[in-house]
């Protein structure tokens, strides 16, 4: 057992509190990773505030990056000192996992939001009492984490940990929604609703694959401006313009693809109604549990529009994250322009600034 420093969320809407807690030794197929950096994601804040059914108190964080320190029995493909990216957990044995779709693992919910191992145990304790861990397989808001092998991707090269960390969720989610799911052809049109870290990643991916028209929708003028540097051809402020009307004017017939990245219900309606006939809307932004949306069935049925959910960009992290890192190394995927770093003890400041829209992707450095 090792004493580590972790950011504990004690109860709903409580601040993150840095505390000394105890970390168990790794079990078979688990790895101890020294966390060097961890991104703060909207999902962490939604859980902190009680919007998703993760039990508290817990250590959150699911965009970790660091160095392998030691591992339990049966771990293959890793050595001490390896630089790694941490991502979601999956069982590896259900029909979807066996079909190469771990992002739709039949156990995705409990393994990632249950904040425990599948058998209900945790790797963390505090004053002799269990503390919920294994959030998305990692609980990366800590100096060290016990992580299942499935959640770990070895990364070569010298990409800074602070840049690498968000690849494990937000970056791969946005880029994967474009490159793995929508797969637009050169010349196609994409509208991205919500220009946070996920949305900006989608914009950069759309530029990489050759979309001709890339429209960003966001009320934040600074984000609209940055998105133009990263790949958008047009920007729309939904507080001052009719989004659907403007998209139709820009495209002539509507967009081939749209991605709703904000979790805003009105934005999702716009994302559906701005589509061309046979267009596809991907739902990525996650509002609090129980949120419902109203859509006119005939506006979907009569023109063959598709509305579909997308989890983690339908990414297989072990192959997709190295691909994205390669694009970053070539200067084609400049995600570092989204990132602002904070010391670990600034976690509450980082979260507050993210919620205010002052920072696109806050990353904690440990």
Does residue 149 sit in the same domain as residue 292? Answer: no
Domain boundary among 278, 294, 310: 310
Does residue 194 sit in the same domain as residue 102? Answer: no
Question: Is the backbone peptide bond immediately before 57 cis, with ω within 30 degrees of 0?
Answer: yes
Residue 161 lies in a domain: no
Residue 256 lies in a domain: yes
Residue 169 lies in a domain: no
Q: Provide, for the chain, the percentages of residues in helix, strand and coil under a 3-state DSSP scheme, each rounded to the nearest 5.
A: 35, 25, 40
Does residue 247 sit in the same domain as residue 113? Answer: no
Does residue 221 sit in the same domain as residue 354? Answer: no
Domain containing 183 — which CATH number? 3.40.50.720
Does residue 114 sit in the same domain as residue 257? Answer: no
Does residue 178 sit in the same domain as residue 280? Answer: yes
Domain containing 96 — which CATH number? 3.90.180.10
- Where b means 16+ CB within 10 Å and e means fewer, 157-191 reads eebebbbbbbbbbbbbbbbbbbbbbbebeeebbbb
Residue 167 lies in a domain: no
Does residue 190 sit in the same domain as residue 292? Answer: yes
Q: What is the DSSP string of 86-152?
A: E-----S-SHHHHTT-GGG-TTHHHHHHS-S-TTS--SEEETTEEEB--GGGT--SBSEEEEEGGGE
Does residue 144 sit in the same domain as residue 209? Answer: no
Residue 318 lies in a domain: no
Residue 162 lies in a domain: no
Q: What pLDDT shows up at residue 286?
A: 86
* pLDDT tens profile 151-198: 999 999 999 999 999 999 999 999 999 999 999 999 999 999 999 999
* pLDDT tens profile 242-269: 999 999 999 999 999 999 999 999 999 9
pTM above threshold 0.75: yes
Query: With 90 as the cut, is the pLDDT of residue 289 above it?
Result: no
Strand-pair category, 275-283 with 306-309 = parallel
* Residue for token pair 């970053």: 328
Residue 305 lies in a domain: yes
Does residue 226 sit in the same domain as residue 292? Answer: yes
- Work out the pLDDT band at 1, boundaries 50, 70, 90: confident
Structural domain that includes position 229:
174-310
Does residue 55 sit in the same domain as residue 185? Answer: no
Does residue 192 sit in the same domain as residue 282? Answer: yes
Residue 200 lies in a domain: yes
If you average pLDDT over residues 326-346, what whole number do you get?
A: 97
Domain count, the chain: 2
Smallest CA-to-CA distance from 11 within 48, 40, 37 is with 48
Does residue 10 sit in the same domain as residue 116? Answer: yes
């Amino acid at each position: 057992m090792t004493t580590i420093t972790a950011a504990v969320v004690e109860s709903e809407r409580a601040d993150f509190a840095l505390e000394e807690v105890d970390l168990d030794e790794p079990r078979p197929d688990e790895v101890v990773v020294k966390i060097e950096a961890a991104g703060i994601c909207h999902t962490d804040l939604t859980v902190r505030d009680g919007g998703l059914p993760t039990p508290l108190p817990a250590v959150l964080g699911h965009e970790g990056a660091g160095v392998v320190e030691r591992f339990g029995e049966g771990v293959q493909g890793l050595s001490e000192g390896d630089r790694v990216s941490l991502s979601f957990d999956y069982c590896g044995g259900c029909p979807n996992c066996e079909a190469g779709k771990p992002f739709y693992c039949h156990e995705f919910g409990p393994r990632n939001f249950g904040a425990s191992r599948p058998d209900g145990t945790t790797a963390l304790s505090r004053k002799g009492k269990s503390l919920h861990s294994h959030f998305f397989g990692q609980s990366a808001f800590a100096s060290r984490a016990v992580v299942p092998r499935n959640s770990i991707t070895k990364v070569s090269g010298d990409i800074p940990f602070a840049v690498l960390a968000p690849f494990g969720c937000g970056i791969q989610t946005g880029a994967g929604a474009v490159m793995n799911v929508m797969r637009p052809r050169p010349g196609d049109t994409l509208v991205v609703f919500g220009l946070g870290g996920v949305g900006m990643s989608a914009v950069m991916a759309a530029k990489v694959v050759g979309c001709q028209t890339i429209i960003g929708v966001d009320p934040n003028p600074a984000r609209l401006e940055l998105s133009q540097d990263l790949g958008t051809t047009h920007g729309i402020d939904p507080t001052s313009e009719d989004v659907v009307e403007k998209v139709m004017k820009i495209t002539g017939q509507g967009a081939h693809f749209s991605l709703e990245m904000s979790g805003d219900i009105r934005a999702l309606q716009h994302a559906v109604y701005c589509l061309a006939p046979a267009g596809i809307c991907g739902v990525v932004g996650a509002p609090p549990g129980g949120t419902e949306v109203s859509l006119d069935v005939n506006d979907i049925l009569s023109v063959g529009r598709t509305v579909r959910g997308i989890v983690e960009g339908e990414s297989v992290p072990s192959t997709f994250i190295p691909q994205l890192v390669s694009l970053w190394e070539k200067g084609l995927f400049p995600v570092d322009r989204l990132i602002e770093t904070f010391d670990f003890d600034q976690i509450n400041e980082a979260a507050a600034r993210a919620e205010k829209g002052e920072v696109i992707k806050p990353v904690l450095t440990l």
